[in-house]
Chains A and B, each alone.
Chain A
Amino acid sequence: MWVAGVLLTGAWQPVAATEPAARQATPTPTSSTAVSADWIIGKLAQPVPMRTAFVELRESRMLKNPLRLSGEYRRPDEDVLVREVRAPYAETTTIRGGAATIERSGKPPRTFSLSRAPELAGLQASFGALLSGDRAALSEYYTTRSGGTRERWTLTLTPRVATTPPSTASTSATLKARTGPGSGLRDITLYGQGAELRCIETRMAGDPEPQRTLLASAAHAAGRVDDPARLAALCHVGVSAR
């Protein structure tokens, strides 16, 4: 199974769900029809290998300004996910087999287990389902709600239970104690255009603003933009509306 490893935190995005370059060039012919979640999930299923650029804005009360990261997500293999940050620093994270390895320039690589974020056990599994187009498996963890048209759709995933799967209940208490109440995932919204996933918003309980990851054409369009409002607009609005 794809380890899903995708998410260590809500900010770790299922980028592998983005388009290979070849398909990005082919807009979906049928337009202006209302979309169903099934249609979107069918479109998002992707073969490997694939890669896509990203731009991510991270806000933290510890920082004077939001942290703007850019780089590339790669999925060289079914069960490997690479997140390469190129700016403002160089860092490569490889997720494979339930563990993440972080390499930073001038430091020895560090490996830690994904199990340190037990709340995301469900997310890990669900994104595997998303990438393989397995609607049934996805429904196990989320209720899905679709909106918009095939040219400009949204897919909102809301966790079925606010808490974590029972198998990780005891460990999640540990994590909650550390990160404070309300740190759980509220929902994830995917923004897309035809078969292209353009943006992911992850909303954590207690955070006013979602964390955004812009992908593919949206990431290219973001260029050197670092204003949160403009990035949010790029995330929400299709390329044509640029």
Chain B
Amino acid sequence: MSPARRLALALAWLGLLLVAGWWIGQHLQVSGDLRKFMPSARTPEQKLLIDELGEGPGSRLLLLALSGDDPETLAGQSTALVEALAGDEHFTLVANGAASAGEAMLEAIPERLRPYRYLLTPTLDRHAFDAAWLADQLDARLQDLGSPAAALIEPLLPADPTLEVLALAESWQPEHAPQQLHDVWFDRAGEKALLAVQTTAAGFDPGGQQVAVGIIERAFAQARGDSSAQLTMTGPGAFSVEVGGRTQREASFIGTLDGLVFALLLLIAYRSWKAPLLGALPLASGGLAGLGAVALGFDGVHGITIAFGFTLIGVAQDYPIHLISHQRPGLSPWDNARALWPTLGTGVVATCIAYLTFVVSGVEGLKQLAVFTIAGLGVAALTTRFLLPGLIDTAENGGKLYDAAASPAMAWLWTKFASWPRLGVVAGLGLALASVAVAGFAPGSFWQNDLSRLTPVPEHLLALDGELRGELGAPDVRYLIVLQADDAELALQASERLQPVLQRLRADGRVRSFDLASRYLPSAATQRARQMRLPDAPTLRTALEDALVDSPFRSDVFEPFLADVATARQAPPLTAADLAGTPLAARIDGLLLRGDHQATALVALSGLGDPVAVAHAIEPFGAQLLDLKQASESLVAEYRVRLLWALALAALLLVATVWVALRDFRRVLRVLAPMALTTLLMLAVLRGLGVELNLFHLVALILAAGLGLDYGLFFDHAGDDRDSQLRALHAIVVCSLATLLVFALLATSSIPVLQAIGSTVAMGVLFNFVLALLIVRQTAVDRPPAPSSRDLARSRL
């Protein structure tokens, strides 16, 4: 096969990968849904979080601020935004204060439901519809007719002399609406026009949030024209988009840089411009195979699983390097691959068996991770073994080969390393003990369960969010009161019993405001009680006639009122289902979750000052203050515990696999000691620096252990032959330099999650390399010509 043919084949392989990548891109559903990543829920809080809520109603709210122009212009833009977004299916609520939300909702309530007003307002709880009260109401209406609001009120009066409709609209208003300038909400300083937008997509759905944020941004660009106004968006959805975008931009920038560094390194190491291409093919194949396997085997994959997976298969980057470094004159690449296979295969099989333990963890995200890494590593190893040799240039097949053993630089390095002392058992044990001590006794908490800390929202946006949340009275995203009952009616009754408590808490300043479903839809029991208090037709007619004596009102204009009351008296109580299709339904559905055998009423809180006091006050009413943050953190902790158990099992299986491959106690110990010591050392360094470990550190540790295993195996494979040692050293130096550079670049990231992975792996590479040199490397015997490494491998396995 000619060099040109080999190149063509390599490019064809690359082309195939691109096609496969495109196909997978079409079929893989990446979701940010925590449920795809977390273990199944156990505690009631976790169940609620995972099974019912996903997240609280506050998490679907986007808070918008328009600033940077004069208030009148901003108000116009605010109105234009509402007009653009109001009909859009991606939003369930778009409010800027204009046409005060309550009235707008009232307009959209169908005529047939209007008589229900008497059952929905608390008026009948306080007043009887008798002559005295009606006369009092008519006096007030006369004043209304003489007031600036006359034109608004007059048309309502025949059917509604008590203005129940307005009472209803008022009860639907947000409790703490911001001030209004030019008819729309503004902050207290009068500089920012404020809007509240609720997305249809859940807060944990970054894709849906991204679409929503995109629509808002386009609508604003349209509304802004050439004004100098600016749009700021906060809220969980906006943050996930902002942070996700930033993480992605930085990761892809660093990734590109990494690719260049990797290519440059291989170019220098092998003096061949084809080396980078050959070096990248198995890893790329493995990554795509992993993604493809997950796409075939699961409905959707969590973004974090993919991030973990790509980190873990990073070890496959080393496979082609080992192959190319071990290539020497007179040896066909196929024989070279066959000779390396026992060593390479041991590493791959041991690692894959270790990842198999994730499958039994019972966590969906870990199962996906196992499938991803096993498929990825397997394919990367198999392509290195069975495809890559056909593409390698040697002197025999018309190409040019770089022999590491002939390199003076390598020889110099080898001599340097040869003078290093060996690390004995006692020193190793001492180091291990010291590491354990540091890791165990370092102050501060060991684990960090708050995943959001890994992708933090910029401080100024958080401050703005707090400010806007306060101005708009938007609900808290962390705390939420939960009432569970057998059905919706019982849940509504429970909410009603809780209402006085909440009012007291608000009066005491422990919460600023609250919102619950029974505010919009009283329980059927309450509605029936109000029906009982409505007078029958003759009684009401008599009372009204009495009230109209000596009144300036005409006596024959209130027939529609009598008809509405008669309807209200007979109507079956209004249920949530009756409201389907009205704007009220969106609010109720967010606050009253109706399952087949259970219903959950939620109370959204804002301005929560003292969670403990609130939790205590509501407890006797069967209500529970849910801390969403704590619930999700406890899930993360559970994920980690399962992961650690899986890892413990994995470690045993790994030792067993290496044992089966090497069958020599001392060699097994030598091969495994560097990775074990490295793991302990890394823990000690991280903990010593006060780093709280998170899941990403854990994944980085696993990757480092995998790398360490390979270094150990290949140093061991080299035996005591100088040339073999030189080639192994070359391979491991290139591998570890490549990995070190790639992850050290990642460590410079400003985003903690990338930094955590980068710094941990980079440190692991360094420790593994040094410890492998100190422990595994055997004293070389200089006896050219060397026996082929193939013979060596055969003699050992």
Which chain A residues have a beta carbon within 8 Å of chain B's beta carbons? 7-12, 56, 58, 60-65, 67, 69, 83, 85, 89, 91, 93, 95, 98-100, 102, 104, 107, 112-118, 121, 167-168, 170-171, 174-175, 177-180, 183, 204
Contact = CB atoms under 8 A, between A and B. Distances in A.
A48 B251 CA distance: 64
B174 interface: no
B189 interface: no
B183 interface: yes
Nearest to A89: B143
7 contacts: A9-B149, A61-B554, A63-B145, A85-B143, A115-B97, A171-B183, A178-B156
A62 B148 contact: no
Contacts of B434: none
Contacts of B76: 167
Given A98-B181, A116-B100, A178-B156, A62 B554 contact: yes
B99 A58 contact: no
B220 to A, nearest CB: 16
B785 interface: no
Contact of B142 (A9, A61, A67, A113): A67
A192 to B, nearest CB: 23
Contacts of B107: 174, 177-178
B140 to A, nearest CB: 8
Contacts of B99: 115, 118, 170-171, 174
A79 B76 CA distance: 22
Given A7-B148, A63-B145, A180-B155, 8 more contacts: A63-B554, A64-B554, A67-B142, A95-B148, A115-B183, A116-B103, A118-B183, A177-B107
Contacts of A63: 142, 145, 552-554
B150 interface: yes
Interface in B134-154: 139-140, 142-143, 145-152, 154
A175 B107 CA distance: 9
A42 to B, nearest CB: 26
A129 to B, nearest CB: 14
Closest 10 CB pairs of A and B: A8-B148, A115-B183, A9-B151, A171-B99, A12-B148, A167-B79, A69-B146, A179-B155, A174-B107, A167-B76
B774 interface: no
Nearest to B186: A98
B155 A178 contact: yes
Contacts of A118: 98-99, 183
Which of A10, A61, A98, A178 has the most C-beta atoms of chain B within 10 angstroms of its own C-beta?
A: A178
Nearest to B144: A102
Given A63-B552, A113-B100, A58 B149 contact: no
Nearest to B82: A170
B260 interface: no
Nearest to A178: B155
B143 A91 contact: yes
B143 A104 contact: yes
Interface in B161-207: 180-184
A108 to B, nearest CB: 13
A66 B578 CA distance: 42
Given A7-B148, A118-B99, A60 B104 contact: no
Interface residues of B, number: 40
A7 B145 CA distance: 15
A136 to B, nearest CB: 17
Given A10-B151, A67-B552, A174-B107, A115 B145 contact: no
A60 B151 CA distance: 10
A98 B180 CA distance: 7
Which of B75, B98, B139 has the most C-beta atoms of chain A within 10 angstroms of its own C-beta?
A: B98
B692 interface: no
B183 A60 contact: no
Contacts of B183: 98, 113-115, 118, 121, 167-168, 171
B158 interface: yes
Interface class of chain A by DSSP: mixed
B154 A116 contact: no
Interface in B85-135: 86, 97-100, 103-104, 107
B149 A8 contact: yes
B151 to A, nearest CB: 4
Contacts of A98: 180-183
B619 interface: no
Contacts of B152: 8-9, 116-117, 175, 178-179
B559 to A, nearest CB: 13
Given A115-B100, A115-B183, A168-B79, A65 B149 contact: no
Contacts of B79: 167-168, 170
Contacts of A115: 97-100, 180, 183-184
Contacts of B100: 113, 115-116
A64 B549 CA distance: 12
Contact of B553 (A9, A64, A85): A64
A176 to B, nearest CB: 10
Contacts of A62: 145, 154, 157-158, 553-554, 557
A237 B139 CA distance: 34
A69 B145 CA distance: 11
Given A62-B553, A115-B100, A177-B107, A102 B155 contact: no
Contact of A183 (B75, B103, B142, B151): B151
Nearest to A177: B107
Contacts of B139: 89
B83 interface: yes
A104 to B, nearest CB: 6
A121 B75 CA distance: 13
A9 B157 contact: no
B180 A11 contact: no
Contacts of A116: 100, 103, 149, 152
B281 to A, nearest CB: 59
B151 A167 contact: no
Nearest to A107: B140
Contacts of B145: 58, 60, 62-63, 67
Which of B97, B140, B146, B182 has the most C-beta atoms of chain A within 10 angstroms of its own C-beta?
A: B146
A191 B86 CA distance: 44
A167 B71 CA distance: 14
Contacts of B82: 170
A124 to B, nearest CB: 10
Given A115-B100, A168-B183, A177-B107, A102 B147 contact: yes
Given A67-B552, A168-B79, A174 B104 contact: yes
A159 to B, nearest CB: 15
Nearest to B78: A167
B380 to A, nearest CB: 59
Nearest to B141: A62
B104 A100 contact: no
B151 A204 contact: yes
Nearest to B145: A60
Nearest to A69: B146
Contacts of A180: 155
Nearest to A165: B76
A218 B157 CA distance: 32
Nearest to A204: B151
Contacts of A113: 100, 180, 183
A102 B184 CA distance: 21
B266 to A, nearest CB: 63
A67 B551 CA distance: 12
Contacts of B154: 60-62, 179
A8 B79 CA distance: 20
Contact of B98 (A12, A91, A171): A171
A56 B156 CA distance: 22
B554 A9 contact: no
A102 B553 CA distance: 22
B180 A85 contact: no
A54 to B, nearest CB: 12
A111 B552 CA distance: 26
B664 to A, nearest CB: 82
Contact of A167 (B75, B86, B143): B75
